[in-house]
Structure formats: structure tokens, C-alpha cells
Structure 1
Amino acid sequence: MDNYKITNLLFEELITFDLEANTYEEVIQKVGNDAYKKGYVKNGFANAVLQREKLYPTALPTNVLKVAIPHPIERDTVEKSAIIVTKLKHPVDFVLMGSENELVPVEIVFTLAVNGGQHQLHILQDLVSMFSDEGAMEKIKSANSAPQMMHTLIDLLS
């Protein structure tokens, strides 16, 4: 836990724009496959994320930009800890956190690929705090390239 910094988990190559998908399952499969090809997660990561998402949904209906924070039920599917940021081309329905079937049209997904439960808890707290700040969410919404998103998130999370 020493020298923990959420900004060390951000990588420009894991920031994607205009991902096309029709379901949250498709979003998670595409995100997981991309992270696997880039060496950040093991084979099976997407399935572990889907398993957890079905049990404990992660969508948050924030005012500016609807978000989801999917993460795997087992953390042994992670090779290198990272936060994968995916802006969707069109909103995709995810289930509201704490609900069984209430849907949220999610526009951006922050997929956590993190080793260690303590780290994950701190990251979730930091992200939820950022999501509750409308000014921060406006900045995230206006970012339109991976470098710009990276810079924005580093500023907001530092």
C-alpha cells in the first residue's frame, strides 16, 4: 500500500473512444479482449468481470455522464494493474449498482484490472468521489482523445 497512486494505473493505450457494443456483456468482452492482447490481463478476465457484474452491478447514474465500474470477481486474472477507460459510441444499458434490474444508459466505462483488495477499495472510493463532482465529469465528457483523457484524469485524481 506504500506509495499507492491511482494515477499510476492509467495508461494511454487503455483509453478507448467510440467503442461500439449493444450490451454490457459485449462491452466487457471487447474491453477484456483488448486488455488481454496488450498484456494487462489473463485469459478469462472478461468472464470474471461478467460474473461479478451479474452478481453486483456497477452502473452509476451521475448527472453529467453515466458510468459503470466493472471489475472481476477474482483478481488472479490480472497481469498488470490498470484502469481501462472506455467511452462508448452509444450508451449501453448496465444494471444500476445496488439494484437487480434498474437500467442505466452508460456512456463511459472504467474497468478495474487491479491486484489486491485494498487497492481496489481505494480506487473505487477515488473514482466514485470524482464521479460525484459535476465539474470533473464535465471535463471527462469533453475529453475527445486518449492523451486528453489521460491528462484530464491525472489532473482530477492527483
Structure 2
Amino acid sequence: MSEVDLLHEELVFLDVDARKTEDLFLFVGEELEKRGYVKSTFTRAIIEREALYPTGLALERINIGIPHTDPMHVNTGFVAVVKNKYKLPFIHMGTNNQQILIDYFFILGIKDPADQVKLLQLLMEKFSNVEFIQGLQSNHEQHTLFSFIKNKFEE
């Protein structure tokens, strides 16, 4: 499966009203489960994994979280893009306690572990691209943001 096949317009969530990171995970997990992308164990698993292996990235212009968990909790591979109304605290990758405020979450549902490295490499490449970050910040509607990300994944 190519990385672009993991993108689905219905999994772009904008203006989510979560006051805590766990609330955001509960909201997205419920939406993913309703749509059949994940098992009922996904939300708890992603919360627990994030506590052990933080995935916050402090980039030059914005901060991004890339939470994911084991494939056993995923039915169908996906990348969910989430923009909350408020920046949420998240632990910086590679630390145990350095908090950063997250602008965007790219929640990953990886079904095949072999795909994980390729997907993470693609994301890191895109996150380091100023044009990609500007596009994230300037597209405020579900369809336009989805189309922008899809086009960038296809490049």
C-alpha cells in the first residue's frame, strides 16, 4: 500500500474542541472505530504508547505529534490529520518530560509494520519542507487540506 492510499478525506478533523490530549485521542479513536479503521483497543493503546514513547516534534515553524501504536489495534491503514482549536501539551520525542504545544497531529494507523519506516520518512521529509508547513497552516477546510496533503504525498 502506498502512503497516499493511507489518506482519507473523512479522516481530516479540523477545529476539534479537545481541552486535553487524552480527550483528543478519545474523540479521534471513536471516529476511527465508527468508520471501521481501528479496533476498540486502539484509543487505550495509543494513549499508553504515547506515555512510553512520546512522538512530539518541535519544528522550526510548528509543532507536530505523530502518535501511533501496534498494528494489532488497526483494521485498515490510515493517516488521520487533526487540528485542534487549542494547542495541546505533548511530550517531545526522545525525552521523558519536555513538553511542547502541538499545532497538528498526524495520527498513524499502520497495519503492516514494514510500512512504518517508509511512512515516517515521508512525513519527516514533508515536515521539513517550508512549503508543506505553509500549506498546512493556510488550508482551513477539510477538502482543501486533504487535497493539499494528498498532492504533496504524491510528489
The TM-score range, normalised by the shorter chain, is over 0.9
TM-score, normalised to structure 1, is: 0.93
Residue 155 of structure 1 corresponds to which residue in structure 2? 151
Asked if 1:40 corresponds to 2:37, the answer is: yes
TM-score, normalised to structure 2, is: 0.95
Q: Which runs of 5+ in 2 are unaligned?
A: none
Residue 135 of structure 1 corresponds to which residue in structure 2? 131
Q: Which runs of 4+ in 1 moved over 4 A?
A: none
Please show how residues 1-158 of structure 1 align to structure 2 within 5 Å: 4-72=1-69, 74-158=70-154
Distance 1:22 1:121 in 2: 31
CA shift for structure 1 position 48: 0.9
Deviations 1:96-141 (A, max 9, x none): 0001111111011000011111111111111111111122101111
Identity of aligned residues (%): 29
Q: How many residues align?
A: 154
Q: Which runs of 5+ in 1 are unaligned?
A: none
Distance 1:40 1:152 in 2: 22
